[in-house]
Amino acid sequence: MIERFKQIRNHTENLCLPLKVEDYIPQATVDVSPPKWHLAHTTWFFETFILKPHAPNYQVFHEKYNYLFNSYYESIGDRVFRDHRGHMSRPTVSEVYDYRAYVNEHIVSYLERADFPDSLREVMELGLQHEQQHQELLITDLKYTLAQNPMFPTYDSGNSWENNYPEPSENRWVELSEGLYTVGYSGDGFCFDNELGQHKVYLEGCRAAANYVTNEEYLAFINDGGYSDFRHWLSEAWGMVQEKGWRAPLHWHRIDDQWHEYKLSGLAAIDPKAPVRHISYFEADAYASWAGKRLLTEFEREALDSALTGGWLWEWTGSAYLPYPRFSKAEGAIGEYNGKFMVNQMVLRGGSLASPTNHVNRSTYRNFFHPHLRWQFNGIRLANK
Q: Looking at 99, 132, 147, which one is the last position of a domain?
A: 147
Domain co-membership, 214 together with 357: yes
CB 155 within 8 A of CB 81: no
| Cross-strand bridge partners of residue 383 | 208, 294
99 and 180 in a single domain? The answer is no
The candidate with the shortest Cα–Cα distance to 24, out of 83, 72, 93, is 93
Residues 283 and 211 in one domain: yes
How far, CA to CA in Å, does 247 sit from each of 142, 192, 212, 300, 370?
23, 36, 20, 30, 20
The span from the first CA to the last CA of the chain, in angstroms, equals 47
The CA distance from 372 to 120, in Å, is: 37
Question: How much is the pLDDT for 39?
Answer: 98
Average pLDDT over residues 265-271: 96
- pLDDT tens digits for 180-232? 999 999 999 999 999 999 999 999 999 999 999 999 999 999 999 999 999 99
Q: How far apart are CA 295 and CA 32, in angstroms?
A: 26
265 and 143 in one domain? no
Q: How many domains does the chain have?
A: 2
Do residues 138 and 177 both lie within one domain?
no
Residue 90, Cβ density class (10 Å: 0-12 exposed, 13-18 middle, ≥19 buried): exposed
23 is a domain residue: yes
Q: Which domain holds residue 127?
A: 2-147
- pLDDT of the residue at 264: 97
Query: Distance between CA atoms of 155 and 15, rounded to whole angstroms?
Result: 10
Average pLDDT, the chain: 95
Does residue 157 lie within any of the structural domains? no
User: Across residues 105-130, what is the average pLDDT?
Assistant: 95
pLDDT tens per residue, range 337-385: 778 899 999 999 999 999 998 888 899 999 999 999 999 999 999 999 8
Establish if 33 belongs to a structural domain. yes
Q: Does the pLDDT at position 292 exceed 90?
A: yes
pLDDT class for 171, splitting at 50, 70, 90? Answer: confident
- Cβ-based neighbour number of residue 66 at 10 Å: 18
pLDDT of residue 284: 98
**Sign (positive or negative) of CA dihedral 212, 217, 222, 224:** negative
Same domain flag for 130 and 198: no
CB 103 within 8 A of CB 51: yes
179-183 vs 346-349, strand pairing mode = unpaired
- Domain end position, chosen among 96, 112, 147: 147
Does 282 reside within a domain? yes
Residue 338 is predicted with a pLDDT of 79
Label residue 169 by pLDDT band (50, 70, 90).
Answer: confident
CATH of the domain at 249: 3.90.1580.10
Residue 176 is predicted with a pLDDT of 97
pLDDT digits (tens, 9 = 90+) for 1-45: 999 999 999 999 999 999 999 999 999 999 999 999 999 999 999
SS in 3 state form for the chain? CHHHHHHHHHHHHHHCCCCCHHHHCCCCCCCCCCHHHHHHHHHHHHHHHHHHHHCCCCCCCCCCHHHHHCCCCHHHCCCCCHHHHHHCCCCCHHHHHHHHHHHHHHHHHHHHCCCCCHHHHHHHHHHHHHHHHHHHHHHHHHHHHHHCCCCCCCCCCCCCCCCCCCCCCCCCEEEECCEEEEECCCCCCCCCHHHCCCEEEEECCEEEECCCCEHHHHHHHHHCCHHHCHHHCCHHHHHHHHHHCCCCCCCEEEECCEEEEEECCEEEECCCCCECCCCCHHHHHHHHHHCCCEECCHHHHHHCHHHCCCCCCEEEEEEECCCCCCCCCCCCHHHHCCHHHCCCCEEEECCCCCCCHHHHCCCCCCEEECCCCCCCCEECCEECC
Task: Give yes or no: residues 208 and 337 share one domain.
Answer: yes
The answer to whether 38 and 134 are in contact (CB under 8 A) is: yes
> Among 111, 132, 147, which residue terminates a domain?
147
Residue 56: is its pLDDT beyond 90?
yes
Give pLDDT tens digits for 367-376.
999 999 999 9
pLDDT at 74: 80
Chain segment 131-143, per-residue pLDDT in tens: 999 999 999 999 9
Same domain for 270 and 315, yes or no, is yes
Please tell me the distance from the alpha carbon of residue 122 to that of residue 339, in angstroms, as a whole number: 18
